[in-house]
C-alpha cells in the first residue's frame, strides 16, 4: 500500500479532524502517503487533493468541523460525476478511499465501490442515524453541546419559573433528543420512533408541575412539530409561560469530547488494519461497545435500533 485518500462528506461532525489526524499518524508510521480530498465528493470530482503532512495536523486535533471541509456535490450524483471521481482517483494513484460521513456519503461510497474503488467508510455524523453502529462519530459531542445549552437556558427559566420546549437536531433519528432529555432531566421527550410521544406532552408537563418542578422541560426532535406552537399550547393549558428554543448549529460545533476523540482514534486504527489486511468495502462502527466492521453494502439508514431501553428508563422517571 502506497497511497490512500480520505474525505469528509455531508454535515461536519466533531471528531472528524481527530480521525484524519490519526489516519495521518498511522500512515506516516508505515510510509503510506495520505491525501486529503477537499470538500468531500466535490473535491473528488474536481480533483482537489492535498498531500497531508505533520504540519496539517499539529493544530487541528481538538477542533470541531473538518479542516478538509465537507461538501455536497450535485455533479457526483450523476454518472458523469462519478466517472470523473474515479478517473481522478486512478490518476492520483489512490489505492483506497476512506469516507467519513453519514448515510448519504455512504451511498456515494457504495456506488464507487461497485465501480471498483476500494472503500472504507467511517460513521461521521452527529445524527447517529446509521443502523449498523451504536454510535456515530460526533454524536456524543452534539448531545453534550445540547445539554450545556439547556443548562444555560435553565438559569433563566428557573429564575422566572418558566417552562421551555427545546428542539434539537437528529434528522430521522430521535437519539439526540432522547439523550439530551435524559441528561438534562427533562420532563418529556418527543421522538419520531415513538409516534405516541407527541400525544401526552401536556399530561407529562402537568404531572411535573404537580410534583413541584419549577421549569418543566420538553425536548423535541426536529421535523416533528412546531415548537413555537407547542410552547403556546402549554402556556395556555397550564399556569406557566413556556418558551420555545431551537438549538440549531450550536450543537454541531465545538471541541469534540473524549469519547469522540478516542472513537476517532479507534476508527483510524481499525481502518489501517483493514487496509493492511486487504479487506475493503467495509463500514466500521461500534457493536456492544466494541469496534467492529461490516460489509458496506448492508449498511442502511437506521430504522430500528433506537435505544428503547433508555427511552423506557426515561418514561419510568416521568410517569
- 213 lies in the binding site for a copy of itself (CB under 8 A): yes
Q: Write out the binding residues for a copy of itself, residues 156-175 only, by CB under 8 A.
A: 156-161, 164
Subset of residues 83 to 112 that bind a copy of itself, contact rule: CB under 8 A: none
The C-alpha atoms of residue 75 and residue 150 are separated, in whole angstroms, by 40
> Residues 3 to 32: which contact a copy of itself by CB under 8 A?
8, 11-12, 14, 18, 21-22, 25-26, 28-29
The number of residues making up the chain comes to 319
Binder among 3, 61, 86, 104 for a copy of itself (CB under 8 A)? 61
Of 19, 41, 52, 70, the one binding a copy of itself by CB under 8 A? 70
- Per CB under 8 A, does 235 bind a copy of itself? no
How far is the CA of 249 from the CAs of 56, 69, 76, 168, 234, in angstroms? 26, 16, 26, 9, 26
Instruction: Tell me if 229 contacts a copy of itself by CB under 8 A.
Output: no
- Quote the least distance from Cβ 34 to a copy of itself, whole Å: 14
Please give the residues from 281 up to 310 whose contact with a copy of itself meets the rule CB under 8 A.
288-289, 310
Exactly one of 136, 182, 197, 281 binds a copy of itself (CB under 8 A); that residue is 182
Instruction: Quote the least distance from Cβ 93 to a copy of itself, whole Å.
Output: 23
- Binding flags for a copy of itself, 243-272, as an x/- string (CB under 8 A): x-xxxxxx-xxxx-xxx-xx--xx--x---
Helix axes 103-114, 79-91, angle to 10 degrees: 70
Amino acid at each position: 500500500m502506497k497511497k490512500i485518500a480520505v474525505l469528509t462528506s455531508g454535515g461536519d461532525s466533531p471528531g472528524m479532524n481527530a480521525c484524519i489526524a490519526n489516519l495521518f499518524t498511522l500512515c506516516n508510521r508505515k510510509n503510506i502517503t495520505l491525501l486529503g480530498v477537499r470538500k468531500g465528493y466535490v473535491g473528488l470530482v474536481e480533483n482537489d487533493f492535498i498531500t497531508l503532512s505533520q504540519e496539517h495536523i499539529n493544530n487541528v486535533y481538538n477542533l470541531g468541523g473538518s479542516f478538509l471541509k465537507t461538501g455536497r456535490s450535485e455533479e457526483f450524483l450523476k454518472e458523469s460525476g462519478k466517472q470523473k471521481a474515479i478517473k481522478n482517483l486512478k490518476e492520483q494513484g489512490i489505492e483506497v478511499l476512506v469516507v467519513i460521513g453519514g448515510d448519504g456519503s455512504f451511498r456515494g461510497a457504495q456506488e464507487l465501490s461497485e465501480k471498483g474503488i476500494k472503500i472504507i467508510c467511517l460513521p461521521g455524523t452527529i445524527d447517529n442515524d446509521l443502523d449498523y453502529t451504536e454510535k456515530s462519530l460526533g454524536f456524543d459531542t452534539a448531545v453534550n453541546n445540547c445539554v450545556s445549552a439547556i443548562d444555560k437556558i435553565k438559569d433563566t427559566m428557573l429564575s422566572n419559573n418558566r417552562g421551555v420546549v427545546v428542539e434539537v437536531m437528529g434528522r430521522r433519528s430521535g437519539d439526540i433528543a432522547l439523550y439530551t432529555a435524559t441528561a438534562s432531566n427533562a420532563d418529556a421527550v418527543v421522538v419520531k420512533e415513538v409516534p405516541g410521544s407527541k400525544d401526552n406532552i401536556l399530561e407529562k408537563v402537568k404531572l411535573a408541575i404537580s410534583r413541584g418542578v419549577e421549569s418543566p422541560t420538553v425536548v423535541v426532535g426536529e421535523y416533528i412539530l412546531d415548537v413555537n406552537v407547542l410552547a403556546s399550547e402549554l402556556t395556555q393549558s397550564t399556569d406557566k409561560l413556556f418558551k420555545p428554543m431551537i438549538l440549531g448549529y450550536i450543537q454541531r460545533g465545538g471541541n469534540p469530547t473524549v469519547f469522540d476523540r478516542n472513537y476517532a482514534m479507534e476508527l483510524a486504527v481499525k481502518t489501517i488494519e483493514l487496509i493492511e489486511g486487504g479487506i475493503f468495502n467495509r463500514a466500521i462502527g461500534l457493536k456492544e461497545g466494541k469496534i467492529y466492521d461490516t460489509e458496506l453494502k448492508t449498511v442502511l439508514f437506521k430504522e430500528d435500533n433506537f435505544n428503547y431501553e433508555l427511552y423506557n428508563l426515561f418514561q419510568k422517571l416521568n410517569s
